[in-house]
């Protein structure tokens, strides 16, 4: 069986068209984009992509109304509810936790 010259084999190998890399969007970018739509539904995976750890995700799902679709086993929450929860529990100043004022209310930024 005749063999071709190494140069010829190399040229044939280089003739192959390279595959275009698949466009991938990051999961965190997808989750951040969903937050722009108030009626979007978020899963635990979305919250994980936003940087929450498992215990924080559990706390979010305990604090908010959960959407449970028939025939679908993953619980969901509305983006609007999540954004409101984070806004309501974001504190400013030099403290990590809220400070009760003299009037008995909590100061929030």
What is the C-alpha to C-alpha distance for residues 40 and 33, in angstroms, rounded to an integer?
10
CB-CB contact of 53 with 60 (8 Å): no
Question: Which of 1-10, 21-30, 47-56 is most confident?
Answer: 47-56
Q: Which two tokens stand for residue 36?
A: 């722009």
The kind and range of the H/E element at 59 are: helix 54-63
The DSSP call for residue 76 is B
Q: What is the DSSP string of 32-47?
A: HHHTTSTT-EE-HHHH
Quick one: which of 37, 32, 74 has its CA closest to 52? 32
Per-residue pLDDT band for 108 (boundaries 50, 70, 90) equals low
Average pLDDT, the chain: 80
At 42-73, the pLDDT tens digits run: 999 999 999 999 999 999 999 999 999 999 99
Q: Which residue has the higher pLDDT, 75 or 25?
A: 75
pTM of the prediction? 0.65
What is the C-alpha to C-alpha distance for residues 46 and 39, in angstroms, rounded to an integer?
14
């Amino acid at each position: 069986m005749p063999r071709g010259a190494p140069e010829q084999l190399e040229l044939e190998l280089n003739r192959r068209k390279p595959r275009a890399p698949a466009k991938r969007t990051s999961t965190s970018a997808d989750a951040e984009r969903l937050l722009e739509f108030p009626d979007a539904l978020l899963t635990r995976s979305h919250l994980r992509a936003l940087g929450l750890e498992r215990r924080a995700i559990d706390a979010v799902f305990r604090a908010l109304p959960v959407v449970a679709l028939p025939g679908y086993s993953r619980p969901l929450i509305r983006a609007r509810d999540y954004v409101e929860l984070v806004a309501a529990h974001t504190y400013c100043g030099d403290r990590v936790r809220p400070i009760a004022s003299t009037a008995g209310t909590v100061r929030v930024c």
